[in-house]
A and B are shown apart, each in its own frame.
Chain A
Amino acid sequence: MSENAHETRSGQDGATPHGARPLIPLRQEDAPALDPVHYRVHHLTSYRYAKPVTRNYGRAHVEPRATPHQRVLSHEVVVDPAPARLTAHTDFYGNSSTYLLVDAPHEQLDVHSHARVSVAERRYGLEPMSRPWEQCTPEHWGAPMPGASLDFVHPSPRVPGGTAAREISAEVFRPGRAVGECLAELTALIHTEFTYDSAATTVTSTLEEVLGARHGVCQDFSHVGVAAVREAGLAARYVSGYLRTAPSAGGALGTEPAGEMIGSAASHAWLSVLVPGTGWVDIDPTNRTFVDQRFVTTAWGRDYADVPPLKGIVVGPPGASSTLRVAVGVVPETAGTESAD
């Protein structure tokens, strides 16, 4: 791409050097709002151990949280075998954080989260989204906004400052550009320049490694996005959640990926950027889209380390191996799935 081409094509049309920009869901006076979608969410994580293990400690962020766009109708975490302790508290960021302890020998551990949620349409104000991004920095926040915090402006443990994300940031956040366009561009850029590859990274991959290899999973793409936004001085948070799945032929646990979306049938991650005047705007670089009614939000934080969906420590005989199965279903509540549960 030539610099010149970039300049001329970064205008109002949807085309950019990084392909088509995702459509910004703007509030329209004449368009009727879509009905909320009701989902039934299942998230099963299942470990099988080669030898019995002694104890198991876990920390989960799997309970969908209430947001301006999402209502949680019910939620429950079931642990098998019966946990000696299963507690939940509201964490620093307002997420529900679940602790589990299985304190007897066991050969399998199932952590099964069930929820029913209602997800409303998200629309953002045209005026705030058209403002230059420079007007979204903390000094322009004005009166305290819900959840607005300097916490999301600074580097965090997994998103350090001074990385190569600065170049991405400079390319996206051009002087005077409308913040909505910046976010659309950022989404497209990450989607184009990074290759989705679940074998490329692990939870321990650093941001620098991801930026160097240009490979990663949704968690890495979200970190890249968060880093680029923070380099520009705006607030960005890491969001953990799920994507709608297609109902599977077999039963209620719809674990078939829906369409071409990456990250469905597993836990998913994206990022959210604070735009004064219209609130937090969520973008999903992995799927080159603004977050819409297909997304269910569970938790957010500065980065992955604040809200891993499920992590733990198992105590057992040295060298015991385990196999893992994860199934996620996010299925719209219709007559068919309702009765099958």
Chain B
Amino acid sequence: MTITHPQALAEELTALGPTGRRRAAASAATMFAADVSAPSPALDPVPVVLDAESWAELSAGLVQRARLLDALYADLYGPRTVLDTEVAPAAALLADLAYLRPAVGIPARGAHHLFAVSTTVSRTAEGAWVVHEDAVDVPRGAGLTLELRRVLSRSAPSLYRSTEMRRLHPFFDTLRTSFHQRTRADGRAGRPVVLLDDAEEPLSAFDHSWLANLLGAPTVSVGDLRAGAGAVTLRLSGLASAPGEPVDAVLRLVPSPLLDPLDLGPTPLGGVTGLVEAARCGDVEILNPLGTGLLENPALRAALPDLCRQMLHEDLQLRPAPADAAPALWPSLDPSGGEELTGRPVTLSLLVMGTEDGFEVLPGGIARTADEGPEALKDVWVAVPDTSAVPDEEPTGRPAVEPASRRASVSAYPTMTRSVGSDLFWFGRYLERVDSTARLLRTVLDTSNDLDAEHSRSARAARTVLLRAVTEVTTTYPGFLDLDLRDGEAVRLEIESLLGDVGRPGSLAQSAAALAHTTRTLRDLLSDDVWPVITRMRLQVRGGSVDPRPLEQWLTDIVDGCLTLSGAVADAMPRDLGWDLTEIGRKIERTMSLLALLRAALGHRRGRAAEERIANAVALITESGASYRRSFHAAVQPELLVELLLSDTTLPRSLAFQLDRLGQALDRLPETAPSPELRAPLSALRTRLAAWEPHELLRPLPGAPAGEDAPTALPAEIDAATESLRSLATALEDRFFRASESTSRWGVDDV
């Protein structure tokens, strides 16, 4: 049986035609990939449309199922009477590693235990809804459902105008209100509810962060929480000794077994020590509660029809999916490329969430094709029967949000956690690292090609210095230091590795990947314009060696990306602690790379002709050529260039400029007490740089062999300056991000 579409939709699909439909699919996938910063799954703009009647039947079944799972959780993690009955698969449940014994007896605060359940269903050819599985330990799909709706409705707007469907946002508005109302009981008003997430995989991280956003709950990592006596607190950036902010509830998207190394066994992530006991004592509510993975047990799923009669005294509405059921077919794009729509079986992932009034089902979801063909994702529409039944924009019958709660939820948004602080700092550092690596490579490759063609001695010397400077600045030893630079193939391979080898620390690809990695936790903090750039950069670096364009143009695209990111940071980021941490990261990184460049390029004296070529390249890399020409009206000489880069406070790539901004940002940091570890390295650095006199620094050392390649005092001075900068960075990390303490297990094993 193939389900037919509503008339208006069918007409619009026809009007779009095969090309229009494919184009919509492709553009939706592009948008999706850009938003998620990950490759998009195949998308199919032809929706799964559920009429009001089948939705009523399906959603009633899902609510019943959530009530049943909730009752089962309450029993299995409470009195466990169901295990003694004939109908429960006791042996399978007891043998399930997801049955976390230490979580037994933890009280629930509200009327029910479960906060969210995602259930995968399908429809049989006979029209019955059947269930494939439930995700209860880590429910998922809220963010992806919205994203799918967003990109498909933009790619195929005519389809979305054709038919009236239930909107998704009102559901989350209701949920958010309900969610935050929980926190106003028991004198816990104003305590934040946080979303705990450690998803590495981009699609999950995206899904989770969007849920956090919808619920108005900040995302935190396990390392940000600390269980004390009487409260679980958020550890905030920069306030290592402060008690931290108590949280009311933890909406966890981290699997239960990883949450508490004390009671739930060793966890690779560290977990939150004492969290289980904190929940047992009622300091904090954990949603979904601990150990809900047990509810995903296949034997339990098979026993639900009997359990439903026993526990709810009702017949289970949604039956388990029989292995041999013929599935209903839904109109879809033809996966083999045909022009006509074809029927494909799909599964629907639907989300049920708990509110104060009971469970509600998100009127939409994710449809996945489930046949031999490549999987495609489709939007799920819940049709509105007639206009009179359209839900009001302003939900009626629900109290409007009182000002008090609005205030509470604003203040409830905590200051920055340690992991977010650290990610912002490293976002700044990697942004500069990508930028400086791309600029360095662009100029050096361009210049060295010219020099290579010249065959003069000075050109060869300059080329050698510049290529080796690449190795030194990116610390990708041995790199060019060990290569015969006349071997064109070897040089080409090294350059290719520097661009595209994501496993090589210091390569452009690795820095870009690290940059993208730091942004996982920053979705709420960075401008939306950032994500497409991150995605483009990632794709470009990945496709590096097959890109047919000249390298210079390729590198210019990377530099463009960095400029866009810089712009997004400068124009959209609130000037708060987060901005300061990013700024500090950028300034430290830029100073380090500039010092490394000067050391490698100008640390030794060479012949005048070679020096001029090298200095020209440095001026290009540091964007100081124009300033130089305005200031000195002379050919670029090392001494004058160093003078300019050292002390011109107006030049955004000069050392003076970096140190000024670094000092200002450090001054703005919240500090409970003056911190010598932070101040001392900066003032040491300033004192050292103030004493630098370029003509002295660049004079060949006494006793050095005359002529080419004469060492100067510059390298040693720069090493000392870099050391100060490193101590500053370390002090900052210790103070603001890194857990300055270690945890270790103890136990008495001699029994």
Binding site for B on A (CB under 8 A): 45, 47, 54, 57-59, 84-85, 87, 89-93, 99, 101, 103, 144, 149-151, 153-155, 157, 198, 202-203, 217-219, 240, 263, 266-269, 301, 305-306, 308-320, 322, 324, 326
Which residue in B83, B274, B749 is a CB contact (below 8 Å) of A203? B749
B751 with A263: CB separation less than 8 A: yes
> Which residues of B, 44-87, contact A by the 8 Å Cβ criterion?
83-84
Q: How far is the CA of A6 from the CA of B467 in the complex (A)?
A: 80
* Bound form: Cα–Cα A320–B741 in Å: 10
When distances are taken between beta carbons in the complex, the residues of chain A under 8 Å from B398 are: none
Q: Which of B100-108, B402-410, B472-480, B564-572 interfaces with chain A?
A: B100-108
Which of these, A99, A154, A203, A306, contacts B747 with CB under 8 Å? Answer: A203
Interface residues of B in 697-750 (CB under 8 A from A): 741-750
User: Which residue in chain B gives the minimum CB-CB distance to A201?
Assistant: B749
Neighbour of B741 across the interface among A47, A89, A318, A326, CB < 8 A: A318
Chain B residues in 8 Å Cβ range of A92: 101-102, 104
Checking B94, B105, B265, B750 against A150 with a beta-carbon cut-off of 8 angstroms, the contacting residue is B94
Contact B228 A84 (CB under 8 A): yes
Task: Report the Cα distance A202→B749, complex, angstroms.
Answer: 6
Question: Could you list 23 examples of A-B contacts with CB < 8 Å?
Answer: A47-B746, A57-B227, A84-B230, A85-B229, A85-B230, A90-B105, A91-B104, A92-B104, A93-B101, A99-B274, A240-B751, A267-B748, A308-B747, A310-B747, A311-B262, A313-B261, A313-B262, A315-B273, A315-B742, A316-B744, A318-B742, A320-B742, A322-B746
B389 within 8 A of A: no
Contacts of A90 in B (CB 8 A): 105
Q: Is the CB of B748 within 8 A of A45?
A: yes
Could you tell me the distance between the alpha carbons of A87 and B281 in the complex, rounded to whole angstroms?
A: 9
Query: How many Å from the CB of B408 to the closest CB on chain A?
Result: 28
| Distance between Cα atoms of A308 and B229 in the complex (Å) | 23
For the complex of A and B, list the 4 residue pairs with the smallest distance between their C-beta atoms, beginning with the closest.
A84-B229, A311-B747, A203-B749, A92-B101
| A86–chain B nearest beta-carbon distance, Å | 9
Tell me how far the C-beta of A232 lies from the nearest C-beta in chain B, rounded to whole angstroms.
16
| Closest chain B residue to A45, Cβ basis | B748
Of all chain B residues, the one with the shortest Cβ separation from A203 is B749
In contact, B748 and A157 (Cβ under 8 angstroms): no
Complex alpha-carbon distance, A144 and B85, angstroms: 11
Known: A313-B262, A320-B742. 5 other contacts (CB 8 A): A92-B102, A150-B90, A313-B261, A314-B744, A315-B741
**A312 near B746 (CB under 8 angstroms)?**
yes
**Roughly how many angstroms separate A154 CA and B91 CA in the complex, as a whole number?**
8
Q: Are A57 and B749 in contact (CB under 8 A)?
A: no
User: Given the complex of chains A and B, what is the CA–CA distance between A318 and B102 in angstroms?
Assistant: 29
Chain B residues contacting A203 (CB-CB under 8 Å) are 747, 749
Q: Which residues of B contact A153 (CB under 8 A)?
A: 91
How near does chain A come to B91, taking the closest CB pair, in angstroms?
A: 5
User: Which residue of chain A has its CB nearest to the CB of B96?
Assistant: A154
Q: Counting CB contacts under 8 A, is B299 at the interface?
A: no
B319 contacts chain A at the CB level, 8 A cutoff: no
- What is the interface size of chain B, counting residues whose CB is below 8 A from a CB of the partner? 35
Q: Across the interface, do B277 and A311 meet the contact criterion of CB distance under 8 Å?
A: no
Q: A269–B83 Cα gap in the complex (Å)?
A: 28
Nearest chain B CB to A285 CB, angstrom units: 13
**Quick check: B749 and A310 within 8 Å, CB to CB?**
no
Residue on B nearest A204 in the bound complex, by CB: B749
Q: Report if B112 contacts A (CB, 8 A).
A: no
* B742 neighbours in A (Cβ, 8 Å): 315-320
Distance in angstroms between the alpha carbons of A157 and B101 in the assembled complex: 12
Find B751's partner among A101, A150, A268 (CB 8 Å cutoff): A268
- Map CB proximity to A onto B547-566 as digits: 1 under 8 Å, 0 otherwise: 00000000000000000000
CA distance A269 to B749 in the complex (A): 11
Evaluate whether A313 and B745 lie within 8 angstroms (CB atoms) in the complex, with A84-B229, A150-B94 already known.
yes
B648 within 8 A of A: no
Are B228 and A311 interface neighbours, CB within 8 A? no
Q: Which residues of B contact A309 (CB under 8 A)?
A: 748, 751
A314 to B685, CA, bound (A): 38
Write out the residue numbers on chain B whose beta carbons fall within 8 Å of the beta carbon of A101. 227-229, 274, 277
Query: From residue 217 to 276 of chain B, which have CB atoms closer than 8 A to chain A?
Result: 227-230, 261-263, 265, 273-274
Q: Is the CB of A313 within 8 A of B101?
A: no
Query: Any chain A CB within 8 A of the CB of B634?
Result: no
Instruction: Write the chain A residue with the least CB distance to B749.
Output: A203
Contact status B262-A57, CB under 8 Å: yes
In the complex, residue of chain B having the shortest beta-carbon distance to the beta carbon of A93 = B101
Distance (whole angstroms) from the CB of A24 to the closest CB of chain B: 25
The CA of A58 and the CA of B227, in the complex, are separated in Å by 13
Q: Answer whether residue B15 sits at the interface, using C-beta atoms and an 8 A cutoff.
A: no
A111 CB to nearest B CB, Å:
10
Interface residues of B in 80-134 (CB under 8 A from A): 83-84, 90-91, 94-95, 97, 101-102, 104-105
Q: Are A218 and B751 in contact (CB under 8 A)?
A: yes
List, in ascending order, chain A residues with CB within 8 A of B460's CB.
Answer: none
A243 to B230, CA, bound (A): 37
Closest to A152 in B: B94
Alpha-carbon distance between A324 and B90 when the two chains are bound, in angstroms: 41
Give the distance in Å from the alpha carbon of A45 to the alpha carbon of B751 in the complex.
13
Say whether, besides A101-B274, A150-B90, A219-B751, A314 and B746 are in contact (CB < 8 Å): yes
User: Is A310 a contact of B751 with CB atoms below 8 Å?
Assistant: no
Interfacial chain A residues near B262, Cβ < 8 Å: 57-59, 311-313
Q: How far is the CA of A308 from the CA of B263 in the complex (A)?
A: 11
Beta-carbon contact of A217 and B228 below 8 Å: no
Q: In the complex, A87 Cα to B276 Cα: how many Å?
A: 12
Contact A57 to B274, CB < 8 A, known contacts A103-B228, A154-B91: yes
Q: Shortest distance in angstroms between A65's beta carbon and chain B's nearest beta carbon?
A: 16
Set of chain B residues within 8 Å of A263, measured between Cβ atoms: 751
Q: Is B280 an interface residue (CB 8 A)?
A: yes
* A155 and B101 contact, Cβ closer than 8 Å, known pairs A317-B742, A319-B742: no
Residue in contact with A87 in the complex, picked from B95, B227, B277, B741, CB distance below 8 Å: B277
Identify B95's interface contact among A103, A154, A218, CB under 8 A. Answer: A154
Complex-state Cα separation, A306 to B101, whole angstroms: 8
Given that A89-B105, A91-B104 are contacting pairs, would A149 and B94 also be in contact in the complex, using a CB cutoff of 8 Å? yes
Contact: A59 with B750, CB < 8 Å? no
Q: Which residues does chain B contribute within 8 Å of A318, judged by CB atoms?
A: 741-742
Tell me if A266 and B228 are in contact (CB < 8 A): no
Closest to A153 in B: B91
* Pair B97/A151 contact, Cβ less than 8 Å: no
Contacts of B94 in A (CB 8 A): 149-151, 154
Contacts of A308 in B (CB 8 A): 747-748
Please tell me if the beta carbons of B741 and A316 are within 8 angstroms of each other in the complex.
Answer: yes
The docked-state distance in angstroms from the alpha carbon of A194 to that of B603 is 69
Q: Which residues of A contact B265 (CB under 8 A)?
A: 157, 305
In the complex, A153→B751 CA distance in Å? 24
Do A59 and B746 touch (CB < 8 A)?
no
Contact mask for chain B residues 184-225; partner A; CB cutoff 8 A; 1 contact, 0 none: 000000000000000000000000000000000000000000
Q: Is the CB of B228 within 8 A of A198?
A: no
Q: Which residues of B contact A305 (CB under 8 A)?
A: 265
Q: Which of B90, B94, B749 has the most CB of A within 10 A?
A: B749
**A339 shortest CB reach to chain B, Å:** 30
Q: How far is the CB of B733 from chain A (nearest CB, A)?
A: 14
Chain A residues near B101: list those with CB within 8 A. 91-93, 301, 306
